[in-house]
Amino acid sequence: MKQNTIPDLSLGVTTGTPIHTALKLSITASKNNYKTVWIGDDILSYEAFTYTSIIANHVKNIRIGLGVISPYVYPISTIASATATLAELTFNNFILGLGVGGSLEVERLTGVKPKKVVPRLQDTITILKKIFNKETVNFEYGDEKIVAYKLSFTKYNIPVYLGVRGPKLLELAGRLADGVIFSAPLSLLGESLKIVKKAAVNAHRNPDDIRKILWNGFILSNNVEDLKLAKSVVLTIINSMSDSLLAQLKLDTDLLNQIKKEFLKGNKSQAMDYITEDILREFCLFGGVEELKQQFIEIKNLGVDEIIVGPPFSSNPLKTIKTMSSEKIWRK
Amino acid sequence: MKIGLHIDGMYDIHALIKKSRIIEKTGLDAIWLGEGPEHRHIYPVLGTVASKTKSIIIGTSILSVHMHKPLQLFQAFKLLKEAFGDRFIIGLGRGGEKHLKIIGKNIFKTIPLLEEYLHTYTDFQLDLPIYLGAIGFKTLIKLGDKFDGVIINSISPRIIKTVIDKTGLKNSNILAIGPSAYLPDKTLLNKFLITCAFIASELPEKIALELGVDRQLQQVRKYFLNHNITELKNMRGFLEENFGLAGSMEDFENRVFELEKIGVKQVIFSNPITENHGKFNEFVKKIAELRNPR
């Protein structure tokens, strides 16, 4: 199979995963030539930069990506210095993913709901780029402030990706980000990619310079019953999507609203009961190896460069990581 | 007497790994890690040092309560404990004034914040020791006995004794931390004096008055702000007597002995120590031998 027709495959774990499990998966991925270990921040779970550093210290020859880190959760000085530390640790093999984070989780941790997300992310990415360029910066946002801040030790021009969904944030990614992490309904993926591309062109950038990554639910299985493994992952995605975005899906809107309503009330299991097979398929890559390969090629054709093999994987995540090794699945 | 070494995120992360391994190999009691907003961040530093060492105790001396969120901080330690076991001591305090100014904090209400951290820590049931890093009398009087240990920002027996006497501190687990320079040449001595002057200039005036060093501290502050190293050199005796230690192994031995006599349980020698790799190894090896009582 020609390299330009197949996407890179990466591993995805979240900070809610017990660390020893994540280490086993990450080490296996690094031995099986996965492109990146992506670490997703479950805001209310383990601290993300510590978690990422532990993984980075135990793997070899694999890139480390952390996504997404929310400026509503971490002050910019923490994001900057922790990112620069991880870049130094990995010898410039680190990517920072920024995003708003789940609105509910952010509010639960900080007591404040994220507002004005487009300017906030725009400011954050702009300031971070300056800091990584060793410039002295000043920044003020609400209670947060940095004065004449400079990271003298930073050595690298660290790539900053955005993990975003709505059109305005996708445009922002096209204008400023080095990459985009989509965690999107598959039926809207093509449109999302077009928005990024258009924004890039308008900003006089080459859209191909922006790396496009897809991180949806992933299940290696021929058994439709196993799709249910992804209910928790899909629930998280649905709840972080705006109502207007959900309304664009060819799914039962009343059902989606019901899911959100139950989740907001704290009834997670009831919310999951409403998730149907159609909904799961909209947010998940699912199937046996051959089916998945076909899906990978279709997604690559849309313009995605890298696909994340992430939770729930299957009933045997470690076996899935070994099976989905690029070398093995594309060998034929 | 336990002896620990303080290193911080001013070093390249790979140098930090090397130093940590040397400290562990030599048999010292603990590696103490500090932080600053423009240093390598403490979270990945903690994860890295823990990953690259096997069993040595790793403490923080100290983390500023103004630079973290309690839940996030304890989530980091919960993870470290899950990954590496009971090897961690959480040292919390106000943090340096200069550092706090960089993150826009000009007015600090540290005591209520420390109480908030203690409250969250209790709810969290983390079961790792938590120490208070302080020299301010008010903080020590109010909170000193609520922590598992107290880290006093000086390795001067006189200062520590005064602090204990004047605050009525009952906490018997006292640790002393201060800048050190081993067999310093001119450059290292300058760095050492600047570090001492930095710590000295951060001492609240009220405390300086209580300790009877207010007049000299005004001078130190002036010389420090003007980068007047010549005058700081003239104040070497004062800075050493009250804040740090520069000298031979014999000087270090005497200091350890004096601190032990007044009840200090652990002394933590901090930067600059030495810039020379070979001398650092020698220092760590020799200082580890002082762990045995005379």
- The pLDDT tens digits for B181-196 are 999 999 999 999 999 9
Taking the Cβ of residue B285 and every Cβ of chain A, the question of whether any pair is shorter than 8 Å is answered with: no
φ, ψ of residue B169 to 5 degrees: the values are -60, 125
Are the Cβ atoms of B47 and A148 closer than 8 angstroms? no
Question: Closest residue of B to A85, CA-based?
Answer: B40
Proportion of chain B above pLDDT 70, given as a percent? 99
Taking the Cβ of residue B138 and every Cβ of chain A, the question of whether any pair is shorter than 8 Å is answered with: no
Do A263 and A294 fall within a single domain?
no
Do A73 and A174 fall within a single domain?
yes
Confidence of residue A152 (pLDDT cuts 50, 70, 90): very high
Question: A37-41, A64-68, A182-186, B131-135: which range is least confident on average?
Answer: A182-186
Confidence of residue A240 (pLDDT cuts 50, 70, 90): confident
Establish how many alpha carbons lie within 13 A of residue A280's alpha carbon, considering only the half-sphere containing its beta carbon: 20
Tell me which of A21, A27, A47 to substitute to probe the interface with B (most B C-beta atoms closer than 10 Å): A47
For the ranges A48-57, A139-148, B212-221, the maximum mean pLDDT occurs at A48-57
Confidence of residue A74 (pLDDT cuts 50, 70, 90): very high
User: DSSP character for A225?
Assistant: G
Do A235 and A196 fall within a single domain?
no
pLDDT for residue B292: 63
Structure tokens, A67: 């996504």
Selecting from A81, A144, A152 the residue whose C-beta is nearest the C-beta of B41 gives A81
Confidence of residue A8 (pLDDT cuts 50, 70, 90): very high
Proportion of chain A above pLDDT 70, given as a percent? 99
- The pLDDT tens digits for A156-166 are 999 999 999 99
pLDDT over 80 at A135, yes or no? yes
- The pLDDT tens digits for B27-65 are 999 999 999 999 999 999 999 999 999 999 999 999 999
Selecting from B13, B69, B76 the residue whose C-beta is nearest the C-beta of A85 gives B13
Are the Cβ atoms of B12 and A153 closer than 8 angstroms? yes
Helix (H) or strand (E) run with residue B57 in it = strand B57-60
Q: What is the mean pLDDT of residues A103-125?
A: 93
Do A42 and A178 fall within a single domain?
yes
Per the listing, tokens 């509910």 go with: A104
One-letter identity of residue A213: I
Number of independent structural domains in chain B: 1
Q: How many Å lie between the alpha carbon of B273 and the closest alpha carbon of chain A?
A: 20
Q: What is the mean pLDDT of residues B231-241?
A: 93
From residue A224, how far is each of A221, A229, A286 by CA, in Å?
Answer: 8, 10, 9
Do A217 and A253 fall within a single domain?
no
| ipTM of this complex | 0.95
Are the Cβ atoms of B51 and A47 closer than 8 angstroms? no
C-alpha distance across the termini of chain A, in Å: 8
Do A166 and A275 fall within a single domain?
no
Residues of chain B with C-beta less than 8 angstroms from the C-beta of A26 = none
Question: A23-32, A313-322, B173-182, B193-202: which range is least confident on average?
Answer: B193-202
Do A237 and A136 fall within a single domain?
no
pLDDT for residue A143: 84
Average per-residue pLDDT in chain B? 94
Q: What is the mean pLDDT of residues B151-161?
A: 93
pLDDT for residue A332: 57
pLDDT for residue B128: 98
Residues of chain B with C-beta less than 8 angstroms from the C-beta of A153 = 10, 12, 39-40
Q: Which domain holds residue A230?
A: 224-283
pLDDT for residue B210: 84
Do A267 and A311 fall within a single domain?
no
- The pLDDT tens digits for A258-302 are 999 998 888 989 999 999 999 999 999 999 999 999 999 999 999
Q: How many Å lie between the alpha carbon of B154 and the closest alpha carbon of chain A?
A: 28
Do A195 and A229 fall within a single domain?
no
Taking the Cβ of residue A132 and every Cβ of chain B, the question of whether any pair is shorter than 8 Å is answered with: no
pLDDT for residue B39: 96
Selecting from B41, B50, B71 the residue whose C-beta is nearest the C-beta of A78 gives B41
pLDDT over 70 at B293, yes or no? no
d(CA A116, CA A123): 11
A274, A313, A247, A327: which is closest to A25 by C-alpha? A313
pLDDT over 90 at B280, yes or no? yes
Question: Closest residue of B to A19, CA-based?
Answer: B83
Q: How many Å lie between the alpha carbon of B284 and the closest alpha carbon of chain A?
A: 24
Q: Which domain holds residue B91?
A: 2-291
Per the listing, tokens 């320079």 go with: B181
Looking at chain B, the number of H-run helices and the number of E-run strands are: 14, 10
d(CA B102, CA B95): 12
pLDDT over 60 at A121, yes or no? yes
Residues of chain A with C-beta less than 8 angstroms from the C-beta of B67 = 75, 77-78
Query: Contact at 8 Å (CB) between B99 and B64?
Result: yes
Do A156 and A258 fall within a single domain?
no
Taking the Cβ of residue A148 and every Cβ of chain B, the question of whether any pair is shorter than 8 Å is answered with: yes
Do A193 and A171 fall within a single domain?
yes
Are the Cβ atoms of B52 and A49 closer than 8 angstroms? no
User: DSSP character for B58?
Assistant: E
Tell me which of B11, B54, B63, B79 to substitute to probe the interface with A (most A C-beta atoms closer than 10 Å): B79
pLDDT for residue B8: 86
Number of independent structural domains in chain A: 2
Residues of chain A with C-beta less than 8 angstroms from the C-beta of B75 = 45-47
| Domain at A325, CATH number | 3.20.20.30
φ, ψ of residue B151 to 5 degrees: the values are -105, 115
C-alpha distance across the termini of chain B, in Å: 10
φ, ψ of residue A56 to 5 degrees: the values are -60, -30
Proportion of chain B above pLDDT 90, given as a percent? 87
Proportion of chain A above pLDDT 90, given as a percent? 84
Selecting from B13, B75, B80 the residue whose C-beta is nearest the C-beta of A89 gives B13
pLDDT for residue A3: 60
Query: Contact at 8 Å (CB) between B40 and B15?
Result: no
Q: How many Å lie between the alpha carbon of B265 and the closest alpha carbon of chain A?
A: 29
B262, A45, A166: which is closest to A180 by C-alpha? A166
| Domain at B203, CATH number | 3.20.20.30
| Residue after which a domain boundary falls, among A248, A267, A283 | A283
Do A157 and A72 fall within a single domain?
yes
Query: Contact at 8 Å (CB) between B214 and B222?
Result: no
One-letter identity of residue B45: V
